[in-house]
A and B are shown apart, each in its own frame.
Chain A
Amino acid sequence: MEHAATTEVRPMSERTHTESAASETGATEPTASDETVLEVDGLSKYFTQGSGFFAGVSLDFDRFPPIDTEQERVKAVDDVSFEIRRGETLGLVGESGCGKSTLGRTILRLLEPTDGSIYFKGEDLADIEGGELRDKRSEMQMIFQDPQSSLDPRLKIGQIVEEPMRAHGMLDAGGREQRAKMLLEKVGLDPHHYNRHPHAFSGGQRQRVNLARALSVDPDFIVCDEPVSALDVSIQAQVLNTMEQLQEEFGLTYLFIAHDLSVIRHISDRVAVMYLGNIVELADKEELFENPQHPYTEALLESIPVPDPRKKGARGVLEGEVPSPVDPPSGCRFRTRCPKLIAPENYDLTDEKWAQTRSFMRAVKRRTFEPMPAERIRREFFDGDLPRGEAGEIVAEAIDVLPAERRRPDETAPESADGWTEATDLLLESFAQQSICARERPAYELEAEYGTAPHYAACHLHR
């Protein structure tokens, strides 16, 4: 059991937030205050697949009664823990489908959490319901990605900005109008646009309206879900600058969700990297970008095209694709693609031979090569020299069951008969699943090279 990123986990009820962080982390963060605004602990969100009356029912004739009501569940967010301090921006970055938006929405209770706790100023949001939750919502707001569809085209800008205030019964009509106009000016719009409709505005301006609306109820915490990714780069810079200014002026705390690492690097104080429902690394911005400790973070950073032709380096190319969140890999979720998958301890493999075995295993699994004679496989993958001992025997066995020649296109042999599946199973069982990466879920806290905040990395290389 591990708790990602949090230095300590205990019921928030025990603590008053002002004293807590200071006493325990030794008051490390100079920029943000030490008060924890939000603490997420073991948060999970699973979705059941399919909908409809019989969606969750499947037939299984091996048992009695032959009906299975177990549902396949998509583990969009799985046991995530972290905290955000007042006034800071936590960047949450990951590729599409990693669960970052789901996490953002679950934190605001726009989605029902499956498990875990969300402490907002010491109160567990996962426990409260109805009116109480509604009241809390005025302190937490959200900004969405698409400035087009997040504004009601029939309403005027003024009404849009006033709506949350109306919903929470803030001020009287005159006061709301005055505040809306003040906010429009704060976000860099003309207060005279109060009576215009959203269609008269460009994408960047609409995102400013969204900002004004979110600010209207004077929240402490805003979840920003890809707020600038639909904008052109020059407009993006304007909106990012405004967001920073507003943060300073109103003392806001942001959870900033984005897929763009450049934007994340610009706006964040600390950064969390997400992969397949887990946070794999969390550290201070400088530390994360300059001293990444998780192979997935490294791969992400290497993949970004740098806007400088003189920095053309090795383009980090990650093998394969993200596995399905319905049945994620055991242990470390990144292990099926990890270029640094750790060799299983029960074989005596040199680094070189393990690297060869690993790439052979993955090539077989993905069938990336044409069927070829055993001799050629040995030569191409192993320099003609199989690993020694038991490992070598397993590899030899796998090579034996692989087809040596390509089927003719018209020949339709059943899929299982061609040896690929057998070889894949053998290799995965013998190697991938024996690795510590498959057997234990990693969670390590490291010394940071940059800054003083703890550096969390979910990778067994740091064991």
Chain B
Amino acid sequence: MTDPLLRVENLKTQFFTDAGTVRAVDGISFEVREGEIVGLVGESGAGKSVASMSLLRLIEDPGEIVAGEITYKGETIFGLEEGPDGELREREDMLSNEEIRTQIRGNEIAVIFQDPMESLNPVFTIGGQLREFIELNRDLPKDAAKEEAIRMLREVGIPDPEQRYGEYPHQFSGGMRQRVLIAMALACEPSLIIADEPTTALDVTVEGQILELVDELQDKYDTSFLWVTHDMGVVAEICDRVNVMYLGEIVEQAPVDELFHDTKHPYTTALLNSMPRPDRTVGELEPIEGVMPEAINPPSGCRFHPRCPEAREVCQRVHPDAREVAHADGHPHRAACLKHDVFDAGYDESPPLETATQETAGVPAGGRSTGGPGGEDGATDLKDSVIEDGGEPTDGTRSDDRGETHE
């Protein structure tokens, strides 16, 4: 198989704050191949945005990429080696900041952000901004750049582009602004576009329009996408392969069909079960218990174990990496869960954990058996999704993330 367009290996990005080190991205590896749309999904705080910004080295103080290797078309975007005195230092073949700016950003890898209003300058016209971008990156004279800008605006479906070329960002609707950003991202015909929640702020019909547009443009230009989102619906709609992130790690990595229909990680399963569905009526939602802990002090062992319905004693001790548990469609299906044989961690013999019952909400440890909120429905719900409380031998590890999060 040919080399992937982008290869990320064991990437770690940390933020050094007064309260301690936030391990926002903690050793993730993935690839993006040519012409592929790869999803990076997770809830807020999972580290997906930090991961995608690390790829362009757009991490600002107090954040820093501390380990890993990022290779793009054979060029090293980030890489470390051990110096003579055992210190880690940046490798010689790593691109300089200048090279990243002139050769990679925009030309090779472009970004589309969630909020188009923040990415466009409100005091310049849409056309002017697009033209300048094309002029600078493609070395075109002003007239040609303008013509190209208008062509791109029409390409992304902006009506009456000659007229709207001279308008300001506030005169555009949200969907139209997002189209402008897509035009800008495509203007230099990059090989990879990082799309960071590009449709999250949009209405569903507008989102449909944008997804359709992306599909068309991708067919035409064969651009690869890294699609960062929290929306499993969008993932199912456009992605070829998916990486699911939880608390700084990739817990599952699979082609899209396998991810949804042969799910291998309990977190992914729980995420899918907690969603209300547009296509059928779901009787009772099965929420994931508790909230995602802070990346500053992640749980021991598997990071999902305090909320995991399948957690066993071993999950508190052993920290699983994402390993290949199946192979589908020419791609590995990786999951970081000890229940799979490949880990050989003694999961089957390990006693089940009494999952810290409930909940978001910090119901006191003793007070929940009375049924909490609601009537009979509530009570059965608790029994179904949670192993009944009992001895709670492992209370210590879980007390951290039960109850409130301190922000």
What is the interface of chain B mostly: helix, strand, loop, or mixed? Answer: loop
Contact residues in A for B272 (Cβ distance below 8 Å)? 307
Do residues A189 and B361 form an inter-chain contact, with CB atoms below 8 A? yes
Which of A204, A244, A267, A305 has a CB less than 8 Å from the CB of B237? A305
- Which residues in window 383-442 of A have CB below 8 A to B? 407, 409-410, 415
In the complex, which of the residues A186, A237, A246, A265 contacts B278, with contact meaning CB atoms closer than 8 Å? Answer: A265
Tell me whether B404 and A193 are in contact (CB under 8 A): yes
Comparing B26-34, B153-161, B189-197, B314-322, the segment that makes contact with chain A is B153-161
A205 touches B236 (CB 8 A): no
Contact of B358 among A188, A201, A366, A415 (CB under 8 A): A188
Stretch at the interface among A80-88, A314-322, A351-359: A314-322
CB distance from B244 to the nearest CB of A (A): 13
Q: How far is the CA of A242 from the CA of B285 in the complex (A)?
A: 11
Known: A200-B406, A266-B281, A367-B160. A318 touches B209 (CB 8 A): yes
- Is the CB–CB distance between A190 and B373 below 8 Å? no
Q: What per-residue 1/0 map shows which CB atoms of A186-228 lie under 8 Å from chain B?
A: 1111101100100111101100100000000000000000000
Q: Which of B1-9, B14-22, B90-98, B199-207 contacts A (4 or more CB under 8 A)?
A: B199-207
- Interface flags, A43-81, vs B, CB<8A=1, else 0: 000000000000000000000000000000000000000
CA distance A205 to B157 in the complex (A): 42
Q: How far is the CA of A463 from the CA of B338 in the complex (A)?
A: 61
Tell me, rounded to whole Å, the shortest Cβ–Cβ distance linking B399 to chain A: 13
B143, B176, B203, B261 interface centre (most CB from chain A within 10 Å): B203
Q: Are A249 and B276 in contact (CB under 8 A)?
A: no
Whether A187 contacts B360 by the Cβ 8 Å rule is no
Q: Is the CB of B147 within 8 A of A316?
A: no
Residue B139 is within 8 A (CB to CB) of chain A in the complex: no
Q: How far is the CA of A415 from the CA of B207 in the complex (A)?
A: 31
Whether the Cβ atoms of A233 and B373 lie closer than 8 Å is no
Contact of B360 among A202, A249, A300, A315 (CB under 8 A): A202
Min C-beta distance of A424 to chain B, whole Å = 11
Residues of B within 8 A of A303 (CB): 204-205, 207-208
How many whole Å from B211's CB to the nearest CB in chain A? 6
Residue of B nearest to A234 (CB): B288
**B167 interface residue (CB < 8 Å to A):** no
Interface residues of A in 293-317 (CB under 8 A from B): 299-312, 315-317
Q: Is the CB of B276 within 8 A of A237?
A: yes
Query: Is residue A349 within 8 Å, beta carbon to beta carbon, of the partner chain?
Result: no
Q: Does B348 contact A (CB under 8 A)?
A: no
- A16 on the interface (CB 8 Å rule)? no
Interchain CB contact under 8 A, B287 and A305:
no
B330 at the binding interface (Cβ < 8 Å): no
Q: How large is the interface on B (under 10, 10 to 19, 20 to 34, 35 or more residues)?
A: 35 or more
B281 partner residues in chain A, CB cutoff 8 A: 265-266, 285-286, 289
Give the contacting residue for A316; candidates B143, B208, B403; CB below 8 A: B208
Closest residue to B273 on the A side, CB-wise? A237
B162 within 8 A of A: yes
* Smallest beta-carbon distance A308→chain B, Å: 5
Q: B378–A261 contact, CB under 8 A?
A: no
- Do A315 and B212 touch (CB < 8 A)? yes
The answer on a CB contact under 8 Å between A248 and B160 is: no
Cross-chain contact A318 with B205 (CB below 8 angstroms): yes
Known: A192-B364, A241-B285, A315-B212. A300 touches B204 (CB 8 A): yes
Stretch among B79-87, B105-113, B227-235 lining the A interface: B227-235
Tell me the nearest residue of chain A to B277, going by C-beta: A262
Once bound together, how far apart are the Cα atoms of A56 and B85, in whole Å?
Answer: 76
A265-B374 Cα distance, complex, nearest whole Å: 21
A188 touches B233 (CB 8 A): no
Count of chain A residues with Cβ under 8 Å from any Cβ of B?
72
Q: How far is the CA of A232 from the CA of B207 in the complex (A)?
A: 19
Given known contacts A186-B373, A205-B404, A233-B43, A307 and B233 CB-to-CB distance under 8 angstroms: yes
Contact present for B230 and A232 (CB under 8 Å): yes
Q: Judge if A272 is at the interface, Cβ distance under 8 Å.
A: no
> A233 to chain B: which residues have CB within 8 Å?
43, 230, 232, 271, 274-275
Asked if B274 and A234 make an inter-chain contact with CB atoms under 8 angstroms apart, the answer reads yes
- State whether A308 touches B361 (Cβ < 8 A): no
A390 vs chain B, min Cβ distance (A)? 28
Does B350 belong to the interface (CB within 8 Å)? no
Beta-carbon contacts of B145-183 to A below 8 Å, as 1s and 0s? Answer: 011001000100101111100000000010110000000
CA distance in complex: A305, B162 (Å): 33
**Interface residue from B204, B212, B257, B285 paired with A266 (Cβ < 8 Å):** B285
Per-residue contact bits, chain B 286-319, to A (CB 8 Å; 1 contact, 0 not) = 1110011000000000000000000000000000
With most chain B CB atoms within 10 A of its CB, the pick from A185, A260, A289, A299 is A185
CB distance A241 to B287 under 8 Å?
yes
Greatest chain B CB density within 10 A among A266, A285, A307, A415 is at A307
What is the minimal beta-carbon distance from B61 to any residue of chain A, in angstroms? 25
Measured CB to CB, the nearest residue on chain A to B151 is A370
A307: which B residues are within 8 A, CB to CB? Answer: 232-233, 235-236, 260, 272, 275, 277
Q: Does A374 contact B (CB under 8 A)?
A: no
In the assembled complex, A150 has its CB within 8 A of some CB on chain B: no
Q: Are B373 and A242 in contact (CB under 8 A)?
A: yes
Q: Closest chain A residue to B368 by CB distance?
A: A188
Within 8 Å of chain B (Cβ to Cβ): is A96?
A: yes
CA distance A202 to B359 in the complex (A): 12
Q: What distance in Å separates the Cβ of A236 from its nearest Cβ neighbour in chain B?
A: 7
CB-nearest residue of chain B to A406: B162
- Would you give the 0/1 interface string for A155-192, flagging 1 where the beta carbon is closer than 8 Å to chain B? 00000000000000000000000000000011111101
A9 within 8 A of B: no
Is the CB of A13 closer than 8 A to any CB of chain B?
A: no
A368 within 8 A of B: yes
Q: How far is the CA of A101 from the CA of B359 in the complex (A)?
A: 30
A338 sits at the interface (CB 8 A): no
Given known contacts A185-B367, A240-B276, A285-B281, A299 and B361 CB-to-CB distance under 8 angstroms: no
Q: Determine the chain A residues whose CB is within 8 A of the CB of B274 once the complex forms.
A: 233-234, 236-237
Q: Are B207 and A305 in contact (CB under 8 A)?
A: yes
Q: Are B233 and A305 in contact (CB under 8 A)?
A: yes
A409 CB contact (under 8 Å) in B143, B175, B403: B143
Closest CB-CB distance, A152 to chain B, in whole Å?
17
Determine if B276 and A265 form an interchain contact, defined as CB atoms under 8 angstroms apart: yes
Q: Which of B163, B260, B275, B405 meets A262, CB within 8 Å?
A: B275
B276 touches A234 (CB 8 A): no
A320 to B203, CA, bound (A): 13
Cβ–Cβ contact B160 & A409, under 8 A: no
Contact of B275 among A200, A237, A246, A289 (CB under 8 A): A237
A-B residue pairs in contact (CB < 8 Å), sample of 20: A95-B204, A188-B363, A189-B363, A200-B404, A204-B360, A232-B44, A233-B271, A241-B287, A244-B374, A265-B278, A267-B276, A304-B233, A307-B233, A307-B272, A308-B260, A310-B260, A315-B212, A320-B159, A367-B160, A410-B143
Interface of B toward A, CB cutoff 8 Å: 43-44, 143, 146-147, 150, 154, 157, 159-163, 173, 175-176, 203-209, 211-212, 230-237, 256-257, 260-261, 270-272, 274-279, 281-282, 284-288, 291-292, 358-364, 367, 372-375, 377-378, 381, 403-407
Shortest 8 CB-CB distances between A and B: which pairs? A245-B374, A305-B233, A303-B208, A266-B276, A237-B287, A366-B159, A234-B288, A367-B160
